[in-house]
Structure 1
């Protein structure tokens, strides 16, 4: 296994960086410079394909095969501007893309044999705006999450909404709001908890973590906590949301530049511990062999954050680090 780091070209990133373990430490060992602005990536182990957004005004989705080296397979328009999130259906037949720039959600058909993108199936763009004019002047799709093969949720930061879509063979056939976040909260990332009775939503603009309960096709908020462990911190934005191996919730703060752990207790969220991440604007995180790895968009590269020790150790100085993903090497993926 190796970890890969997507980076922003305009922030100094030079491509898709490879991190490998040397004993217990991660070290930078290479960079695929042909891959640009991969700020979100999903991996198909069956086809050994990585689907990557190219987060640009004329958004694109690039497909790359990895068999020890990267091979470009296809590239097609994302159906919107500034794509920032991808989701693969459980059956591997549909790819969903959230385009932040213009708020369009798109779905694509994937070839069931090769995994290669075949065609744009459908698109959905809601109308409206939120109360924060500089960030909510219109729709801004920020996340898309499958719930089985035939239901897709998408989060719109600009409209303070979560939408639910019914699919037929990957095509959107019915859409409706499933949840309204507090006005101006700017929801960013929805996480459907695989084990607990509740799901989670992090709000970027209000820097809040919401605990959601399913009520039929909709969500109801049963708990909310600030993501920042300190009161009075200005210009802090909620960041990435993930689960640790023990089921606790990990959230990054961009501004306070911290990582926070919450525990779910019934219908309540409790702060467990936190630590500074050792960089600026922690955009993404992943849990790797019990360690939390954080990618900093504005400075500080990639760091290992130890919540118990209240410190961070820089792994690699990667400018514009945007995304982290673990991808199996060929020898480890074959029986």
Structure 2
């Protein structure tokens, strides 16, 4: 995330585009619900979608939250509560954003607000839930702080259990590992926390700071939700000015895979399962070999079987496909157009059959079918018009 992204949203449509250009009807096939988070002004909040379980097609239902800049969201493990980060600039005169807890009506997907609290920082840009389901974790991009919050029995959020503020010298302004001709220069002016998530064991938490070019390593106290620094507390990014952004954990090979926004590189790290420490293994470009110029890496996601990894490239407007071998090594094998502009995130359907690109600047979601044998993507010719989409989560039964 960079300030340039917010400015660019004003270049889009002045109002939410009409949904009449596609079959805006409830699917007759079996369906499930999904929630789509958006940025203002093109997006008007959180949208409820019906998902055709036969072909993955999306059908717009209704707006279920009108919270301003409700661009980040996460579901609890039971699918009973939705948590939304509102990137407002001054919630309750704090100068910070807010976190909103909702209960979910699984019959129609509607939401009931439980409570809203301060995010303990400016620009809450990422939410995750600890594996034990008892704590919500948030990364605040603008202020560079992270925090944990207890989840009460009714799903509402309690007072913060732990708040950590990054500090230090900013990273290099120019990304050393970017491709020739890149002007991917932004936000190396101070701390900017971009993601926070627990490892699958729940014992360790990792957070990225794009501005300081660091990956923080934390120990997590499951009894009270407190974060404490590991030893060492952080490691440097894979290259100067790389801008660590988002990461995923492999289900079997003990690796963490991380994309660097400014350098458009993908780095693998081996996780010490006992100590929670990361060791860098491999770094390669997320862009095709022949590309020259500026691009910002954004979304990252694994296939359900852990054999393939997908990375979204903004400005190049593509999705790169990587294979993962048994040792955890990566090889790029394909690159496809996103059929839209400035893809913020990519997600895969619960059945693994569809991938969706949240095309922020072109105000749509593009759907791709996933070949489960080769991992390759094929555009389905299906668009869902949504103003400035940011994220999508699926409500499973």
Q: What TM-score, normalized by structure 2, do the two folds share?
A: 0.78
Note the aligned Cα RMSD (angstroms). 1.9
Distance, in Å, in 1 between the alignment partners of 2:189 and 2:213 is 12
Match of residue 254 from structure 1:
314
| 1:221 corresponds to | 280
Report the 3-state secondary structure (helix = DSSP H, G, I; strand = E; otherwise coil) of the residue aligned with 1:40. strand
Return structure 1 stretches of 4+ with deviation > 4 angstroms: 306-310
Do the aligned residues in 1 keep the contact of 2:253 with 2:328 (CA within 8 Å)?
no
Is there any run of 5+ residues in structure 1 with no aligned partner, and where? none
Retained in 2: the 8 A contact 1:277–1:312?
A: no
Please list the CA deviations of residues 211-245 of structure 1 after superposition, one character each: whole Å capped at 9, or x if unmatched. Answer: 11124432122111111124333220111111112
Q: Shift of the alpha carbon at 1:294?
A: 1.0
Q: Quick one: which of 36, 57, 65 aligns to 1:5?
A: 36
Match of residue 125 from structure 1: 165
Q: Which residue of 2 aligns with 1:293?
A: 356
Equivalent residues of 1:252, 1:282 under 8 A apart: yes
Distance verdict in 2 for CA 1:195–1:319, change over 3 Å? same
Please state how far the C-alpha of 1:98 moved relative to its aligned partner.
0.2
Unaligned runs of 5+ in 2: 1-31, 90-95, 174-184, 371-375
Q: What is the aligned counterpart of 1:180 among 225, 236, 241? A: 236
- 1:323 alignment counterpart: 391
TM-score of the superposed pair, with normalisation by structure 1: 0.91
**Structure 1 range deviating more: 261-270 or 289-298:** 261-270
Q: CA deviation at 1:256?
A: 0.5
Q: Given the alignment of the two structures, is residue 31 of structure 1 paired with residue 63 of structure 2, yes or no?
A: yes
Secondary structure at the aligned position of 1:63 is classed as strand
How much does 1:200 deviate?
0.4
Q: Does structure 2 conserve the Cα–Cα contact (< 8 Å) formed by 1:152 and 1:167?
A: yes
The alignment status of 1:283 with 2:283, answered yes or no, reads no
Question: Shift of residue 153 of structure 1?
Answer: 0.9
More strand by share: 1
1:1-335 matches, within 5 Å, as 1-10=32-41, 12-22=42-52, 23-24=54-55, 25-46=57-78, 48-57=80-89, 58-67=96-105, 68=108, 69-111=110-152, 113-128=153-168, 129-132=170-173, 134-147=186-199, 148-168=201-221, 169-175=224-230, 176-181=232-237, 182-215=239-272, 216-247=275-306, 248-265=308-325, 266-288=327-349, 289=351, 290-306=353-369, 308=376, 311=379, 313-328=381-396, 333=397
- How far has the Cα of 1:109 moved from its partner? 1.5
Tell me how many residue pairs correspond in the alignment.
327
Contact 1:87–1:145 (Cα < 8 Å) also in 2: yes
